[in-house]
């Protein structure tokens, strides 16, 4: 009996210890400290969880709760932590320097969450400068610019199935219809507050309903990392590790991602490693000298943008950025990044005149350090998180952007096809009479389509700065503009490549986008706008329904022109191929206001062709011209095919068929 009682006692003690340990981990994460190994790996540029050590983290020392602070300031003479907890004293909370690497640390007892703080750095010249924490996870709402203590632990996620499935997906073979979105101007709060921002949770509930209805597969969120100026749209960052406080707390942002995952929508973040804001409280001359930016202004500044350029050749800076991507994945479960302004990183002379840049060691304009940075980043991030996508906004003909790093590529999952976007917009703006002279602008992208994995973007950049909204780019009377755009969107969704559409353009937003006001949702009361909205929803439904539309986007195996040369009538016909042969999708698109009676389209099979979309239907805002619900192939040669189908093709109309 005694032995049995002892065993029971031991089990109870073990149970108590496990319970106590769990409580400590959930509350503070126990003691945080930086070891020699941490400092060494950071100096080598390979500490991929450095965000767990640098910054401000809840910690416990000698049984006392508080916060541990760590900052990299290699040129500082002294560093202190100042904040609300010590009346912003510049000397009350000194930090200790750890070795030659330039990391400073301290533990401050008694500090809780949501406390404002900054680092007070004494420079070599004796000046004391107040700096926000580069690794802060939360920040003061602008116009304030202090960092804020927070605890990222404790959120209960509900997306385990999503995360497991994501890791097993090859996104080249999955549907990607991306809704590009700016939270602050998507919809304003009716409460009449100054900014009118919905918080992350309110926005999540409303956006989830919208994306689910429309059938988008992903959302790309602009301006999530903390930034001081609304007008920069989030492209001049000061807090790379902090979800902007404009819309709530870090855990509120977790809720947003979690909510979208629960309805099957992936989350992509705009990420800006090309340059950063030059504000005095930020990264620029952080410890009195240039440690994040290149010290030579010809390498470290964008003269046109007024921003600083990261020093990609510096191991700690490379580590800062690569770990930042991993941080967003680990703590916020994001599914991809769209890397802004990649071209500006690859070319040393981008946006610069003679005398404003310095050639590399070989005497040319390639940024060798940035190239290596991209290869390193993509190898690590995609190696650690299969299914995660990295997308390059690259506007030149740089080769192998989506090629493997080991084969001379940069390693991105996808590249924005800026050439397609330019040609598409320029063509669609033309008066129909002149389109025949520019016919091949719309076919050119397929000639190089297999060179990269592409996304076709119609982004925010195309609907600002006097470029007009998408519908206002179109020629003709109002009804013609909407008909043109329906035909153009059908061409886009049929063309090889993943898709991206900026918010508001799916219902025919007529004004240019402004970050200061919400979208013109009231337009949905108008038949043409409601019709456009319903039409894009139908396009998205078809896109998601038929694998031929997305499984082979980067090769001729998935796409075939039927007639790319009918420039006199400005008609394009092509089809997307299903690998199984069961559900091919055929497109016929008339880009003129002319009715083409008895129009012949060459087809490859003696089959029945079932109509699944007619953009001229009245429910979409069209004129209501009908196209037969089913057409049978006729055994007469057309377009170098043994068969053809024949029907009246209405003005500015896209007709979509399926066939086996």
Query: Rounded CA gap, 575 and 589, in Å?
Result: 11
Among 340, 369, 452, 510, the one annotated catalytic: 340
Angle at 609 between CA 603 and CA 610, to 5 degrees: 150
Query: Rounded CA gap, 251 and 620, in Å?
Result: 40
Phi, psi angles (nearest 5°) of residue 99: 65, -165
For residue 438, the 8-state DSSP code is G
Residues 6+ apart with CB under 8 A from 585: 494, 542, 546, 548, 549, 575, 576, 578, 612, 656, 657, 658
**Alpha helices (runs of H) in 385-469, residue ranges in sequence order:** 418-428, 432-435
How many beta carbons lie within 10 A of that of residue 61, not counting itself? Answer: 16
Pairing of strands 266-271, 218-222: parallel
Query: Rounded CA gap, 134 and 42, in Å?
Result: 15
340 is catalytic: yes
For residue 197, the 8-state DSSP code is P
Residues 6+ apart with CB under 8 A from 570: 432, 435, 436, 439, 590, 591, 592
Among 226, 252, 369, 393, the one annotated catalytic: 393
Query: Rounded CA gap, 542 and 360, in Å?
Result: 49
Residues 6+ apart with CB under 8 A from 323: 47, 48, 49, 50, 51
393 is catalytic: yes
Active site residues: 340, 393
């Amino acid at each position: 009996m005694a032995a049995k009682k002892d065993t029971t006692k031991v089990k109870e003690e073990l149970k108590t210890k496990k319970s106590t340990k769990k409580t400590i981990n959930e509350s503070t994460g126990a003691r945080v400290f930086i070891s020699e190994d941490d400092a060494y790996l950071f100096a080598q540029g390979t500490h991929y969880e450095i965000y767990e050590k640098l910054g401000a983290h809840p910690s416990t020392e000698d049984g006392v709760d508080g916060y541990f602070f760590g900052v990299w300031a290699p040129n500082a003479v002294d560093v202190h932590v100042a904040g609300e907890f010590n009346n912003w004293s510049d000397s009350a909370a000194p930090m200790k320097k750890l070795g030659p690497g330039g990391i400073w640390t301290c533990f401050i007892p008694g500090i809780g969450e949501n406390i404002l703080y900054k680092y007070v750095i004494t420079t070599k010249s004796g000046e004391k400068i107040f700096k926000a924490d580069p690794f802060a996870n939360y920040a003061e709402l602008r116009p304030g610019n202090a960092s804020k203590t927070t605890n990222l632990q404790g959120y209960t996620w509900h997306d385990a199935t999503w995360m497991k499935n994501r890791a097993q997906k090859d996104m080249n073979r999955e549907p990607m219809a991306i809704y590009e979105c700016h939270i602050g101007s998507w919809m304003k709060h009716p409460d009449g507050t100054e900014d009118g921002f919905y918080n992350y949770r309110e926005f999540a509930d409303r956006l989830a309903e919208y994306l689910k209805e429309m059938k988008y597969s992903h959302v790309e969120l602009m301006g999530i990392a903390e930034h001081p100026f609304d007008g920069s749209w989030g492209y001049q960052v000061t807090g790379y590790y902090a979800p902007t406080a404009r819309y709530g707390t870090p855990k509120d942002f977790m809720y947003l991602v979690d909510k979208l995952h629960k309805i099957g929508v992936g989350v992509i973040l705009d990420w800006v490693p090309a340059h950063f804001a030059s504000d005095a409280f930020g990264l620029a001359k952080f410890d009195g000298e240039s440690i994040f930016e290149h010290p030579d202004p010809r390498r470290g500044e964008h003269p046109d943008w007024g921003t600083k350029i990261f020093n990609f050749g510096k191991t700690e800076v490379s580590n800062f950025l690569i770990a930042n991507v991993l941080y967003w994945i680990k703590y916020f479960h994001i599914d991809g990044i769209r890397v802004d302004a990649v071209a500006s990183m690859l070319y040393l002379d981008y946006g610069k005149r003679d005398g404003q840049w310095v050639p590399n060691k070989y005497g040319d304009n390639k940024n060798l350090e940035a190239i290596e940075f991209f290869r390193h980043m993509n190898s690590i991030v995609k190696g650690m998180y299969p299914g995660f996508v990295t997308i390059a906004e690259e506007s030149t003909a740089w080769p192998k952007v989506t090629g493997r790093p080991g084969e001379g590529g940069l390693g991105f999952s996808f590249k924005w096809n800026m050439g397609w976007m330019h040609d598409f917009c320029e063509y669609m703006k033309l008066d129909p009479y002149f389109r025949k002279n520019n016919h091949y602008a719309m076919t050119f992208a397929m000639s190089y389509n297999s060179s990269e994995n592409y996304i076709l973007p119609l982004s925010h950049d195309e609907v600002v700065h006097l470029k007009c909204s998408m519908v206002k780019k179109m020629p003709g009377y109002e009804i013609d503009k909407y008909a043109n755009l329906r035909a153009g969107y059908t061409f886009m969704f049929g063309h090889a490549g993943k898709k991206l559409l900026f918010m508001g353009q799916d219902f025919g937003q007529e004004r240019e986008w402004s970050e200061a006001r919400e979208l013109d949702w009231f337009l949905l009361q108008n038949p043409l706008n409601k019709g456009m909205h319903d039409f894009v929803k139908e396009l998205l439904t078809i896109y998601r329904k038929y694998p031929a539309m997305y499984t082979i986007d980067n090769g001729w195996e998935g796409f075939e022109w039927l007639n790319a040369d009918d420039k006199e009538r400005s008609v394009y016909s092509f089809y997307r191929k299903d690998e199984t042969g069961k559900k091919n999708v055929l497109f016929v698109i008339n880009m003129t206001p002319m009715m083409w009676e008895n129009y012949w389209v060459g087809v490859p099979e003696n089959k029945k062709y079932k109509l699944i979309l007619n953009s001229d239907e009245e429910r979409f805002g069209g004129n209501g011209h009908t196209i037969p619900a089913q057409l049978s192939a006729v055994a007469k040669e057309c377009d170098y095919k043994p068969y053809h189908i024949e029907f009246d093709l209405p003005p500015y109309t896209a007709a979509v068929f399926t066939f086996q």
